[in-house]
Structure 1
Amino acid sequence: MAEILLEGLVIGESARWHDGRLWCSNWGAQEILAVDASGKREVMARVPTTLPFSIDWLPDGRLLVVSGPEGLLLRQEASGDLVTHADMSSYGGLNEIVVDGRGNVYVNGGCDFQPGEGERPGFILLLTPDGSVRRVADELAFPNGMVITPDNSILIIAESFGGVLTAYDIAGDGSLSNRRVWAPHPGDGMCMDESGAIWTPGWTEQGESACLRIAEGGEILETVPLEHAGFACTLGDGTLYMLTADWHMQESFDANLDRLLSTATGRVLTHDVHIPKAGWP
């Protein structure tokens, strides 16, 4: 069963394990947090945006922040200030990010948070180390969390409205091809372990919120029940960290932001695991 490490977040997202701590975005509070094993939280950056915003790091250790509504990729300087790393606003709103082991940055977006939009306008952008940006995938039904295998050869993305985890082969130049269903399950912010399985928030066959460990092809290997909706998870130091909040898919974030701010139901939950993290992020 999951244990509560920290309460009082608005909505925690973009869970990452970095420098021995859990990092995450605290949507609604405009904060990027680092949380240690005792549950002590530290504000590492403040992001002047609404939501979504998500995080990862360049190979040199500099923090990147996706400022979603503005279509900007920000970079944190040594001073702590956030500056524009890449302006992607011409492509539309952005959501999640993953940086691979070669310094290629993948950012997705193109969908809002309305589950009934019924279209597949989502995309993945590639920002290469030389600073060029190009679109490398289209027709995604709300692109969400992404992982890349340790050898930098496969990118897997959650299509939250499509109800699938979708895989692409990664070419030497970072291009994506050979689109296919990796597993017939929805997902959100996710991570991979050394066995090649993926942990992601989702739902049981009975429709109950849970964090699932999924094998390629769709077999559910482990299930961690959750009281509230799960938004993201990551692995670190023998622990699965899960971010949850009392929010429902039929709700609008914008319309309910005041309630989410006042109730602050966001939590960081933990669960012991035995297989370490692998891949990116």
Structure 2
Amino acid sequence: MPELHTWLTDLGLVESPRWYDGRLYFSDWTAHEVIALGLDGTHEVVTRVDSLPLCTAWQADGRLVIVDSEQGLLLRLEPDGSLVTLADLNGLGSGWNDIVIDGRGNIYVNRIGFDMLAGAAFDPGYVVHIGPDGSARQVADDIAFPNGMAVTPDNSTLIVADSYGNRLTAFDIEADGGLSNRRTWAETGEDHPDGICIDAEGAVWYADVGNKRCVRIREGGEVLQTVEVDRGCFACALGGPDGRTLFIVAAEWRLPEMVPPGTGRVLSTQVTVPGAGWP
């Protein structure tokens, strides 16, 4: 059983962990905060956005991009701390969820097709691409419940966690950022994959809320490693000085309140293969 280290406790619904420039950035959806955690244990609130979901990604120029799902906007955090609108997604629907930016600057944001918490009828979701001019277009559809996304180190493949489909779905990334050659990258059995990341051997780590674990899986579905946690795992990210720290954001999951306040935690464990690709 891998040893787990606890970094922070008493959080809310924690999501979207991203390792960047020596710190772990993550979102506390309950507090509407993006938080940066240093390896010395210090942490600070980077910005606040009144949104749920509240997911993030980094541009190559070092600016943080934030999905404001409530307003249907893609925001960018400027060096002076202000938030500017990078793209308006309202013309393409609502219910925006996760985001990834690849090494060529392609921005992908996915949308859940129905309001699960309000008891709305099921409707599949999709993925949109945002261009350099802020224009947004749909590039993939019919994903039961799109969640975490990651891009391979060679910028050739986008992988989307389909939580309701119990699978990881892959697409080729075209020169213009479009997606093609849709295929099942791996079936996940009874697991409902949430946040994901990729390692240097091409395997994917996915978090699973209901089964309270993170799983390393190979293309085709072979399970390579499992990390069990005492609460729901919402997302994971590889980082640390050598890329071999698997950070896990976890919390208790209980409807209708979703996540009881104070149950969110940031955890980590050491793994043998470093992270690669994006996020």
TM-score of the two chains, using structure 2 as the length reference: 0.92
Kept after mapping to 2: 8 A contact 1:34/1:41: yes
Kept after mapping to 1: 8 A contact 2:88/2:134: no
Counterpart among 174, 177, 188 of residue 174 in structure 1: 177
Cα displacement string for residues 93-120 of structure 1 (whole angstroms, at most 9, x for unaligned residues): 2000000111110000133452876634
Map 1:181-192 → 2, pairs under 5 A: 181-185=184-188, 186-192=192-198
Cα displacement string for residues 212-235 of structure 1 (whole angstroms, at most 9, x for unaligned residues): 001101111001001000001001
1:180 and 1:143 map into 2 onto residues whose CA distance is 14
Letter in 1 for 2:65: L
Letter in 2 for 1:200: Y
- Residue 57, structure 1, aligned to residue 58, structure 2: yes
1:126 and 1:18 map into 2 onto residues whose CA distance is 23
Letter in 1 for 2:195: G
2:18 and 2:176 map into 1 onto residues whose CA distance is 26
1:69 Cα shift?
2.5
What corresponds to 2:105 in structure 1? 103
TM-score of the two chains, using structure 1 as the length reference: 0.91
- Residue 122, structure 1, aligned to residue 122, structure 2: no
Letter in 2 for 1:12: V
What corresponds to 2:35 in structure 1? 33
Kept after mapping to 1: 8 A contact 2:125/2:143: yes
User: In proportion to residue count, which structure has more helix?
Assistant: 1
1:120 and 1:213 map into 2 onto residues whose CA distance is 29
1:110 and 1:187 map into 2 onto residues whose CA distance is 14
When structure 1 is superposed on structure 2, of 32-41 and 73-82 the one drifting more is 32-41
Which residues of structure 1 form unaligned runs of 5+?
A: none
What corresponds to 1:73 in structure 2? 74
Which residues of structure 2 form unaligned runs of 5+?
A: none
Map 1:80-229 → 2, pairs under 5 A: 80-91=81-92, 92-112=94-114, 114=116, 119-185=122-188, 186-202=192-208, 208-229=211-232
1:129 Cα shift?
1.7
1:57 Cα shift?
1.3
- How many residues align? The count is 269
Letter in 1 for 2:199: D
Cα displacement string for residues 174-227 of structure 1 (whole angstroms, at most 9, x for unaligned residues): 111111111112311110000000111127xxx742110011011110010010
Over the residues paired in the alignment, what is the CA RMSD in angstroms? 1.7
SS in 1 for 2:195: coil
Kept after mapping to 2: 8 A contact 1:70/1:93: no
What corresponds to 1:260 in structure 2? 260
